[in-house]
Amino acid sequence: MKFLISQMTTLVHQAQQKSNIRLMTRFGLILLSFFIVYTIGFHVLMAYEGRAYSWVTGLYWTLTVMSTLGFGDITFESDPGRIFSIIVLLSGVVFLLIVLPFTFIQFFYAPWLEAQHKARAPRAVPESVSGHVILTHFDDVTRSLIEKFKQYAIPYALLIADLQQALNLYESGFNVVVGELDDPATYVAMRVQYAAMVVVMNEDVTSTNIIFTIREVSDSVSIVTNADHEDSIDILYLAGSTHLFQFTAMLGQVLARRILGLSMKANVIGNFDQLRIAEAPAMRSPLQGQSLAQSRLRELTGVNVVGIWEQGRFRLPDPHSTVSASTVLVLAGSEEQLELYDKLMGPVKQSRERRGHVLVLGGGRVGMAVARSLEQRDIDYRVVEKKPRKIPDERIITGSASDLDILYQAGIQHTPSILITTHDDDLNIFLIIYCRRLRPDAQIISRASLDRNINTMHRAGANLVMSFASLCATTILNLLKPEKILMLSEGLNIFRAQPAKAIVGKALRDQDIRSATGCSIVAIKRSETMLINPDPDTVVSTEDELILIGTAEAEKKFAERYPGAG
């Protein structure tokens, strides 16, 4: 009873609910007037029939008839009385059985239920929270980023304006705060001045408003923003963005970089102090067909092969690993060592005319970013796009990528690589299967919008699948913890660790780190010096700092096996 009274009190004190209660009061007065009029009419008609009843009996009869209970113990015998009974019955059906329930739900129960929902959804982060990341938009990128936050125990708060969406996410286990995106009070409640970062992945116009609003509360917090359109870059910077990315353009560059056989140079994908991590395709290079031991790469250049991408899967190499046409080597070394590697590989032997053009299916933002990246590398291409372009371009073929004639017109029979870049994963899977049937020997690279579709695309026939969500999450996390971790493509991480007791005092060749955890030591930081690709006889000391490379799963195994490292 106390709970009901407290809820009624809350309802009365809200401006909107006061208006609703006034309407409910008017409706109650209308019903009361019906009861009075019908009770008087009952006495008049009963007197007409020569019968007399008390006023309480008249009200009793009115309520039983209007509520359709109709006990039948009191009835009229004359036609006027029966007509009056019909009128009372019909008005009762309309007002008591139809209007009253809906009025009660709309003006009392629904507002009360909404108040209950609002009370459940958090409106602020706890005062003890600091160093957290604030997210202003929820999508697949945000979901992937939150998973990585959980992996590295990074606190976060997800800001949602829509109450129902916030409740759904809250019930699903997300740390949600309800609030308006353009209200400075919202960011005060989220303790933005104590946050490590704000990630704004909304549309450009909305993002501009959010950033400008945040700057009213805090001038120092780091704000990471995505720009959908190039024209928005300057405006977002003026609004107050700290780090600005065009993730679709970045994805296009990454996809173009993974084309096999068109360049044998090492493409740097990450810097960790003086350490460089690079990817190098092996197709048509002097390495193709050799084992790593036969290649003598470490002896000739100083670089170390720390990983191999094969058919979209990463694995650790061994001296007997054979380099095939579809292999992409992951190299670790200094800038000078990678330059030696490039000289050893030499220039591409095929001319532009003989090597064939790359085929890009999808002329959206990612597809055109791929085209621009290929053009910068002097690689010919053809783009198949459904929507016609305002400015004609002979390299852009207008038509459906599922049309065989269009694909032949675009040169699918001669292309060495096919890149599928649409934002629809279902369509991408369809095109992968189609292109694999048409060209069993071509390299097929696809974009995945959702991480869960990556394995499906590999099964469909893609050699390599790049996840848009993973790319965005990796880039943001690298900004958040640059001193601790560097995340590379597809979950490949470089991370720092202090040597555990089980590692100290032993030479690297006597360690079983790689076989036990899947991680490789690529450098050792000793005082102010970094030993890149250290000699196997190097002994690890307590003051050293290890720099390792491995997948996220391998990093977890390392932390579990060597709990003293960190």
Per-residue pLDDT at 194 exceeds 90 = yes
Contact 325, 361 (CB under 8 A): no
Distance separating alpha carbons of residues 566 and 562, to the nearest angstrom:
9
The pLDDT of residue 13 = 47
Read out DSSP for 504-527?
Answer: TTSBGGG--HHHHHS-EEEEEEET
533 touches 542 (CB < 8 A): no
**Closest to 174 in 3D by CA, of 140, 147, 199:** 147
C-alpha distances out from residue 165 to 159, 169, 203, 314, Å: 11, 6, 18, 37
Quote the percentage of the chain above a pLDDT of 70.
89
> For residue 124, which of 198, 197, 191 has the smallest C-alpha distance?
191
Is residue 442 within 8 Å of 325, Cβ to Cβ? no
What phi and psi, each to the nearest 5 degrees, are found at residue 520? -125, 140
pLDDT in tens, 412-464: 999 989 999 998 999 999 999 999 999 998 889 999 988 788 888 988 988 88
Q: What is the mean pLDDT of the chain?
A: 84
pLDDT score for 34: 85
Q: Are 467 and 451 in contact (CB under 8 A)?
A: yes
How far are the Cα atoms of 168, 374, 381, 493 from residue 263, in angstroms, in the given order?
Answer: 48, 11, 15, 25
Structure-token pair, residue 499: 């040597």
Asked if 334 and 532 count as a contact pair (C-beta separation under 8 A), the reply is yes
Query: pLDDT value at position 216?
Result: 94
Q: Report the distance separating Cα 423 and Cα 386, nearest Å.
A: 14
Tell the residue number behind the tokens 């046409």, with chain if given.
325
At which residue do the structure tokens 């999450």 appear? 473
Phi, psi of 182 (to 5 degrees): -110, 20
Give CA–CA dist 215/208, Å, rounded: 11
pLDDT in tens, 493-536: 778 888 888 888 888 888 888 888 888 888 898 887 888 888 88
Q: Tell me which residue of 450, 563, 489 sits closest to 143, measured CA to CA.
A: 450
Structure confidence by residue, pLDDT tens digits, 331-370:
888 888 888 888 888 765 444 444 578 999 999 999 999 9
Q: Of 432, 396, 380, which is closest to residue 262 (Cα–Cα)? A: 380
pLDDT over 90, % of the chain: 27
pLDDT computed for residue 113 by the predictor: 67
Structural domains of the chain sorted by starting position, each given as residue range(s) with its CATH number in brackets: 2-120 (1.10.287.70), 133-245 (3.40.50.720), 264-345 (3.30.70.1450), 352-469 (3.40.50.720), 498-561 (3.30.70.1450)
Sequence-separated (6 or more) residues with CB below 8 Å from residue 397: 382, 383, 384, 385, 406, 409, 410
Report yes or no: 447 and 366 within 8 Å, Cβ to Cβ: yes
| Cβ atoms of residues 82 and 76 within 8 Å | yes
pLDDT in tens, 220-248: 999 999 999 888 999 999 999 999 999 99
Indicate the pTM of the whole model: 0.67
* CB-based contacts of 413, cutoff 8 Å, min separation 6: 438, 439
Residue 79: pLDDT band (50, 70, 90) is confident
Do residues 288 and 324 lie in contact, with contact meaning Cβ atoms separated by under 8 Å? yes
pLDDT over 70 (residue 4): no
Higher pLDDT, 198 or 563: 198
Q: 50: exposed, middle or buried (C-beta count within 10 Å: 0-12, 13-18, 19+)?
A: exposed
The answer on pLDDT for 168 being more than 70 is yes
What pLDDT does residue 1 have?
43
